[in-house]
Structure 1
């Protein structure tokens, strides 16, 4: 056989084999390989349920990727870049995926988990967490913010502790005085002296119990069911009348300027200084402010009470010439049982609840109370409440401004 022809046939065969290999490669590239079976679909109805949950909800797949997160979850920073933002939650998810058991926990989480080291994380919030399997491929994380409830629980616990402490003092004093009086039964002068002290402690105890009950009522969201039109001028006169005897006993003069007195002869009379609310509570708030001014003022000074209508609000300003309050303490005067001068407060029979009651009365009437004070320059408390406008056809003020319901 001619060697030239053999070489040609061999070359042709090599060409055919090469072409076949290229064709096979092209065919294999077009043919898809069998893919892993991954079902990213949530169980039937799960999406609808998640959309109506009040808790923050996050769904994690087998790759620890967040496949669904509610708006609440994003709002509180539970998710970032399709991942859980908190290691504590990720650890719970891993444990549930490992054994399939539902887990519940309460934990404190930083509000800014992505802050750099040394940067303030803007505090913690307390959450209740439930992590549970959702089908065979997903894990559900439910987070409920319990910060407000936790804070309320702490406030109530502190309140009970403070009440117990405050009640213990007069009760112990009365018990001790009674025992001492029994020992001094043969000494009429000593018996009278101890009896007078028992009377003072009993009055203090009665006032404390009354103010605790009143404060508890004010903290009820439904403090009064049917608000009435309250004439603030009249309420102030009543409050001042109730405190005048104590003020005179301490040598402190109380002066008033009512809203009706502030209108000049040539000016149009302004709207009556009336608010919607509870007349007795308004009287109590003003009386507490005046009592506070009298208690921290020296003999020969005065406490001024001014009523005015400013920017659709009724303002009651109580200004004293007392010892004043340091700026560092000003933010605490409305706390329950807080006393700037405990010794002076005990001497005047103060309970430490008066200004806290004022704050709650103001809030329940849609207003507020503020303080300006400087040591040695006295204090000025301003109680503000929304003005009640008299509409056409509404009953006259004297028909609605009666006693509280």
Structure 2
């Protein structure tokens, strides 16, 4: 029986390798399975699964999860001991009924909030009379590359023309004003400003390109949300001090999330920098942390002019600027919020916005809290908790500092 099980596993894995071998990274090759022992699983099968180097789930006759890899949890295929998605359950039911090997590409929500999606190539087969094996490969980047590339190249080409053209004109003006020291100084200052803007734009383009090529599920680790907030606030101190803006951190949550710490810090810093950029001098920017219903929420509140309903619909689009002229003056590239949304979606979370003209704005990111913190069960360390979220009540008042209360304090 064991020989048949192993042969079935190896045959199934080679079938998947033949289609998707070029997608296997070194990180994927070192994935090991979650230590969930089940005495009814055939002896030796666990060892074979461990060397497959793929995201996998083994389910029993009632679709209960017998064994799953960390990548299966990171992809959002499994929560606790349950297969999450109906499409996967339908696939296992058909395999169980017909006794055939099936392969299908599915687009599934990454987390309980359903804002980000992952495209996976799933192969399912019977390995014993009782068990079915699901093998999954992340195809998100592969299937979206062409669409993203075409759109991105068009936008980048347009955005780069403005600062490059300005620098070219300023260089000509500088050359023709060699005998006028004041004009040289003025043009040099403007050229420096445009070059700084160009550098910021290029950096954001590089960052966004890196995000689009990153596989968060393969780079995820337990992350302390307080560390993320602390690092993001520290990195935003200089722009805040330049406008005499006080960064106020409210709340402290003993909460962990599963993800890439550097990317999460980048996303939160972008929100804080955006709040600083559009806040008047001598005001405050609030950063709040709280945990509710298995979701970790971090909110950033400013005291700026607020956004209209129309702008709120488009503010997360790449290169969209509410006020293009002001954005150029403040150094905005139009990519910061797009980067935020991309990072948080890849982590199975969501980013929302509350704003009213004249009352400032509150951006809130929500991420699934990592399961297994209270009981210290290391085997559950990589499993996001499956909870649904309810939106925060919209704030109708400000505290004494004039900062919206939504998410500003724990």
TM-score by length of 2: 0.54
CA contact 1:259–1:309 (8 Å) conserved in 2: no
What SS class does the counterpart of residue 362 from structure 1 fall into?
helix
Residue 283 of structure 1: which of 261, 265, 269 is its match?
265
CA deviations on 1:169-195 (whole Å, 9 max, x unpaired) are 111111122222222223333333322
CA contact 1:251–1:298 (8 Å) conserved in 2: no
In 1: Cα distance, 2:210 partner to 2:182 partner: 42
What SS class does the counterpart of residue 288 from structure 2 fall into?
strand
CA contact 2:204–2:335 (8 Å) conserved in 1: yes
Q: What is the aligned partner in structure 2 of residue 315 from structure 1?
A: 297
What SS class does the counterpart of residue 167 from structure 2 fall into?
helix
Q: What is the aligned partner in structure 1 of residue 274 from structure 2?
A: 292
Change (3 A) 1:176 1:341: same
Q: What is the aligned partner in structure 2 of residue 325 from structure 1?
A: 307
Q: What is the aligned partner in structure 1 of residue 364 from structure 2?
A: 382
Residues 124-143 of structure 1 mapped to structure 2, 5 A cutoff: none
Q: What is the aligned partner in structure 2 of residue 369 from structure 1?
A: 351
Deviation at 1:219, TM superposition (A): 2.0
In 2: Cα distance, 1:315 partner to 1:150 partner: 31
Structure with larger RCO (C-alpha < 8 A, sep 6+): 2
In 2: Cα distance, 1:224 partner to 1:200 partner: 39
Find out whether 1:238 has 2:241 as its counterpart: no
Q: Considering only CA atoms, is the larger Rg found in Structure 1 or Structure 2?
A: 1
CA contact 1:368–1:384 (8 Å) conserved in 2: yes
Residues 82-231 of structure 1 mapped to structure 2, 5 A cutoff: 156-220=149-213, 222-223=215-216, 225-231=218-224
In 2: Cα distance, 1:150 partner to 1:218 partner: 15
What SS class does the counterpart of residue 314 from structure 2 fall into?
coil
Task: Name the count of aligned residue pairs.
Answer: 238
In 2: Cα distance, 1:383 partner to 1:167 partner: 30
Q: What is the aligned partner in structure 2 of residue 124 from structure 1?
A: none
In 1: Cα distance, 2:286 partner to 2:358 partner: 17
CA deviations on 1:264-309 (whole Å, 9 max, x unpaired) are xxxxxxxx22212111111111111111111222123211000112
